[in-house]
Amino acid sequence: MKYFTLLAVLLSAFVSADEIRVASWNIYWLGSSGHNDRTASDYQKLTQYASSLDADVIALQEVEDATWARKVFGEGYNYYFTNRRPGSKGLQRVGFAVRKGISVPDHQDYEQLGLDGSVRFGKDITISTGGGELRLLGVHLKSGCFSASLDSSKKACKKLKRQVPELEEWIDDRAEEGTPYVILGDFNRRLNLDIAGNKGVWEAIDDSHPTEFADLSNLAEDKISSCWGGKYPQYIDHIVVDPRAKDMYVSNSFGALNFSGQFDKMISDHCPIYATFTF
């Protein structure tokens, strides 16, 4: 009987290891200078939320480096961050925390999203388990053009418009490869309210070209955010998948970890979002 009990536990662990929870969290200026006003109590709350999130892979935004990410997520993860932008203090870097035991066979910066170095690089990694691979691009796109036309005269919209073809190029390259892929992070764009007629980000990147694997799905589509009691009802953080990754997506597993209490930037102005994928 003990043998069969042990076998059941081992099989259960194996099955759960084939399901990976992938998340994204902008942790609001988590770093050593400029906005380092967090107290020990703040970090305790952050680590509690990170524990509740219980994600295997977390795309991170506005985090300085692994030292600061480790203060929140601990030693159970490996950390991968973009290089510093030229002239940047590095406070708003993009990266990933990947639970130890998950292989990351390649990790590199997608510098094209940084344009002339004035905005943030993307972080490009592949996670690998015994069941397969998933390519992930962590992004933090230009802020300030949340729903306006990309043809707007606003400086932020002009920069975002320049980022879109760079993002689309990454998508097109992945569409012609054999690995399922996900783009996730802070898009700084209300994709659910995007503008038709190719004036928005979604219409530009979801064009089913050059192959059907450029036909994208936004897991946050038609969903309303309850972050901080509904303070930000329209998602600007997204998890976007190609058809192969959508086949791996566990139905209805998209969600958000909502914070309790009054709005507090020292926790974050973004609630983590997550989804589960099966390998």
Sheet holding 132-140, edge to edge: 103-110, 122-129, 132-140, 181-186, 237-241, 217-218
The pLDDT tens digits of the residues spanning 145-191 come to 999 999 999 999 999 999 999 999 999 999 999 899 999 999 999 99
Ranges 74-83, 101-110, 194-203: which has the least confidence: 194-203
AA letter at 157: C
Query: Residue 92: is its pLDDT beyond 50?
Result: yes
Higher pLDDT, 59 or 199: 59
Question: In angstroms, what CA-CA distances link 109 with 89, 118, 124, 246?
Answer: 17, 15, 6, 24
Question: Which of 219, 250, 26 is closest to 120 using CA atoms?
Answer: 26
Query: Residue 13: is its pLDDT beyond 50?
Result: no
Q: Taking the CB of residue 229, how many other CB atoms lie within 10 A of it?
A: 12
Q: How confident is the model at residue 208 (pLDDT cuts 50, 70, 90)?
A: confident
Taking the complete model, does pTM exceed 0.85, yes or no?
Answer: yes
Query: Residue 90: is its pLDDT beyond 60?
Result: no
Q: Give the mean model confidence (pLDDT) for residues 190-214.
A: 88
Q: How confident is the model at residue 7 (pLDDT cuts 50, 70, 90)?
A: very low
pLDDT at res. 89: 54
Domains of the chain plus CATH, in order, are: 20-278 (3.60.10.10)
Q: Give the mean model confidence (pLDDT) for residues 210-230.
A: 95
Sheet holding 57-63, edge to edge: 77-81, 93-99, 57-63, 19-30, 273-278, 255-256
Ranges 12-16, 99-103, 104-108: which has the least confidence: 12-16
Ranges 31-35, 105-109, 137-141, 252-256: which has the least confidence: 31-35
Distance between CA atoms of residues 110 and 195, nearest Å = 26
pLDDT at res. 8: 39
Query: Residue 10: is its pLDDT beyond 60?
Result: no
